[in-house]
Amino acid sequence: MTPESGLPSEFELIARYFAPLSRGFPGAYGLLDDAAVISAAAGSELVVKTDAIVEGVDFLPDVPAELVARKALRVNLSDMAAKGATARAYLLDLLLPSSVTESWVASFAAGLARDQAEYGVHLIGGDTSSTAGPIVAAVSLFGEVPIGRILRRGAARAEDTIYVTGTIGDAALGLAASRGQLPGLDAAHATYLLDRHRLPQPRTALGPRLLGLATASIDISDGLIADLRHLCEVSGLSAIVQARSVALSAAARAVIADQPRHLLTAITGGDDYEILFTAPPGLESRIAELSRSSQIPITAIGQVTATAPQERPQVTVLDEHGRALAIVAEGWTHFGRRPRIETTAY
């Protein structure tokens, strides 16, 4: 750290707060070496993923450190789950401005400890540095999957059914509520939606069980429609979504009953951290059974279709009258135009 910072030295921080999180993973060498060792079990291969979360972009500056840590880990766990992989270990790159206190780091580490216990992963290394900018927490996650079985975005087939886990749009509506854009919303509903924004629930119990069922899979982080488009583009296919089939929480339904245009907030907003996957017709009862035994809702929302010759893959969302909704901005993007939602149907 810089000498002006009120924090102990990086070595003290590592020894005090991070080394304990490596216990139980021999290849981490107690965070006392330059690098760590990790291998996949026989018959499996490593799956790797990194995602950084940035203060002011991915989390609001007043969010408690414990929640920042857990979100940093969980957004990566969500990607791992969508690939059918099981997470094992992670690296943490932490960039801290001088305004950060030791109690912030202690709370951050406590958040990691809590989620390590919940998800069965260990911290095996990283980097700690100072910055003149906002807090950045970058997690690189390592998981494993049976060799050659990783669930890809690009393997959807025409006629596949499109499924989503959980409910869609809660986090985006939670963010709208926190900005005062949903006046009149019941307090319990507002709390539910905001919690969905602050702390994603990655579908780690489900992801590996999609192997052998799903053809293609993606985690929904940019928004349902944007991520479905990502899957379609790599698969070279199009999709039709029935808006009325999209699974919504009671809180989201209450918002939309009051202001129908927020259906578009729900299906284009980001931060769901649910899994969108495709599967061929005929697997409905196995998927229903998976939903029952994992206690995770899985809902069919539409169908993959062939793309017309000479056309780019299209994602069409139909309302209850079978009319296509016009969606200008399909989801979150970091650079370029800010997300903007316009529709002719509402």
Find the binder of ligand ADP among 7, 72, 123, 172 (CB under 6 A): 123
Judging by beta carbons within 10 Å of its beta carbon (0-12, 13-18, 19+), is residue 62 exposed, middle or buried?
Answer: exposed
**Residue of 34, 62, 311, 320 interacting with ligand ADP (CB under 6 A):** 34
Shortest reach from residue 95's CB to ligand ADP, in Å: 10
Q: Smallest distance, Å, CB 201 to ligand ADP?
A: 24
Please pick, from the candidates 7, 14, 185, 317, the single residue that binds ligand ADP as defined by CB under 6 A: 14
Q: For residue 310, is it left (φ>0), alpha (ψ between -120 and 50) or beta? A: left
DSSP 180-233: T-STT--HHHHHHHHHHHHS----TTTGGGGTTT-SEEEEESS-HHHHHHHHHH
Shortest Å distance, C-beta 221 to ligand ADP: 23
Indicate the residue among 99 and 295 with the shorter CB distance to ligand ADP.
99
- State yes or no: residue 127 binds ligand ADP (CB under 6 A): yes
Cα–Cα distance measured from residue 203 to residue 206, given in angstroms and rounded to the nearest whole number: 5
Chain center to CA of 248: 17
Number of residues that bind Mg ion (CB under 5 A): 1
Q: Does 34 bind Mg ion (CB under 5 A)?
A: yes
- C-beta of residue 221 within 8 angstroms of C-beta of residue 272: yes
Cα–Cα distances (Å) from 117 to 23, 155, 327, in that order, read 12, 33, 41
Question: How far apart, in whole angstroms, are the C-alpha atoms of residue 202 and residue 274?
Answer: 7
Q: Which of residues 140 and 249 has its CB atom nearest to ligand ADP in the complex? A: 140
DSSP state of 324: B
- Binding-site member from 7, 18, 95, 193 for ligand ADP (CB under 6 A): 18
Cβ-Cβ contacts under 8 Å for 183 (sequence gap 6 or more): none
Assign 282 to helix, strand or coil: coil
Exactly one of 69, 82, 94, 206 binds ligand ADP (CB under 6 A); which one?
94
Minimum CB–partner distance for residue 18 and ligand ADP (Å): 4
Closest distance of CB 22 from Mg ion, Å? 15
Contact between 11 and Mg ion by CB under 5 A: the answer reads no
Nearer to Mg ion, 14 or 317 (CB): 14
157: exposed, middle or buried (C-beta count within 10 Å: 0-12, 13-18, 19+)?
A: middle
* Residue 111 lies near ligand ADP (rule: CB under 6 A): no
User: Which entry of ligand ADP, Mg ion, none binds 311, CB below 5 to 8 A by partner kind?
Assistant: none
- Pick the stretch among 40-48, 81-89, 120-128, 244-252 that binds ligand ADP (CB under 6 A): 120-128
Cβ-Cβ contacts under 8 Å for 34 (sequence gap 6 or more):
none
Would you count residue 35 as binding Mg ion (CB under 5 A)?
no
In terms of CB distance, is 69 or 327 closer to ligand ADP?
69
Q: Report the interface residues with ligand ADP, using CB under 6 A.
A: 14, 18, 31, 33-34, 92, 94, 123, 125-128
